[in-house]
Amino acid sequence: MNQATPMIEVTNLDKYYGAFHALKDIDLTVHQGEKVVICGPSGSGKSTLIRCFNGLEWHNSGRLVIDGIEVYDGAKEIRELRQEVGMVFQQFNLFPHLTVLENLTIGPMKVRRISKAQAEETARKYLERVHIPEQADKYPSQLSGGQQQRVAIARSLCMETRIMLFDEPTSALDPEMINEVLDVMVELADTGMTMVVVTHEMGFARKVADTMVFMEAGRIVEISPPEQFFTNPSSERCRLFLDQILAH
């Protein structure tokens, strides 16, 4: 795995919200095809970190290089970068005034300037991939939460992204819908996509992760392969956290 090209390289990254030190001295490398699962208590900076990876937040110091592009506030390449890096949000954030198909085609058509016919063909392919080809003409509000999140995944895939970021993709879902979304994510992982997933679904993490990351209070406290992470984490904090969520 480590011979592969680095897709995300974070060195000495710090991030402040005003006086609040949200990310502290982060170092992390994600290689092509690698699946990284990030977990940690609420407020530890997980969302902030992955939002830096597609320029929804800017770091204040340190270095962040994504797919060879250096990311910093005001970088000209940021829009090209965002086309490479897909993001799936906890709240889905589908466009409610557009149908499912339009949600999937608007990016390729307006941003990548692909023809409507071709964009729709791609959209239908990815709707198939997330198992809801029959929902193409509905509006997001007519779908269940699980279906909406799968549309959101397909929307990112339609941009032909090389990296996918997930910010707690299942935590807004009813329990019976969590698995349909996780299944799609597992299938996506099998295609060799580079993925960074913030989640507390440890079953998914065990199945998919190459690397586990545990964050606390803005720091990465533990980075280790899942076997070690789940059986013998080096930090006491991480052990306590795992005990807590695995007890559920």
Ligand X SMILES: Nc1ncnc2c1ncn2[C@@H]1O[C@H](COP(=O)(O)OP(=O)(O)OP(=O)(O)O)[C@@H](O)[C@H]1O
For other proteins, the binding residues (CB under 8 A) are 54-56, 79-80, 82-83, 85-87, 89, 91, 93-97, 106-107, 110-112, 139, 141-142, 155-156, 159
How far apart are the C-alpha atoms of 10 and 41, rounded to whole Å?
21
Segment near ligand X (CB under 6 A); pick from 17-25, 150-158, 221-229, 234-242: 17-25
Q: Which does 54 bind (CB under 5 to 8 A by kind): ligand X, other proteins, Mg ion, none?
A: other proteins
> Length of the chain in residues, anyone?
248
Whether 166 contacts 199, CB under 8 Å: yes
Q: Classify residue 165 as left (phi > 0), alpha (psi -120 to 50) or beta.
A: beta
Segment near Mg ion (CB under 5 A); pick from 47-55, 63-71, 99-107, 177-185: 47-55
When asked if residue 91 is in the footprint of ligand X (CB under 6 A), the reply is: no
Q: Which does 141 bind (CB under 5 to 8 A by kind): other proteins, Mg ion, ligand X, none?
A: other proteins
To other proteins, the closest distance from the beta carbon of 184 in angstroms equals: 18
When asked if residue 47 is in the footprint of Mg ion (CB under 5 A), the reply is: yes
Nearer residue to other proteins within complex by CB, 89 or 204:
89
How far apart are the C-alpha atoms of 207 and 35, rounded to whole Å?
10
Nearer residue to ligand X within complex by CB, 17 or 72:
17
Interstrand relation of 219-224 and 211-216 (parallel, antiparallel or unpaired): antiparallel
Q: Nearest CA to 148 among 187, 192, 104, 115?
A: 104
* Residue numbers 31-50 binding ligand X by CB under 6 A: 40, 42-48
**Which of 2, 3, 20, 231: binder of ligand X (CB under 6 A)?**
20
Please count the residues of this chain forming the interface with Mg ion, following the rule CB under 5 A: 1
When asked if residue 155 is in the footprint of ligand X (CB under 6 A), the reply is: no
Q: Which does 44 bind (CB under 5 to 8 A by kind): Mg ion, ligand X, other proteins, none?
A: ligand X
How far apart are the C-alpha atoms of 187 and 167, rounded to whole Å?
18
Q: How many CB atoms lie within 10 A of CB 226?
A: 18
Q: Nearest CA to 28 among 36, 18, 20?
A: 36
Whether 3 contacts 198, CB under 8 Å: no
Nearer residue to other proteins within complex by CB, 136 or 217:
136
The one-letter amino acid code at 219 reads R
Bridge-partner residues for 15, per DSSP? Answer: 23
Binding site for ligand X (CB under 6 A): 17, 20, 22, 40, 42-48
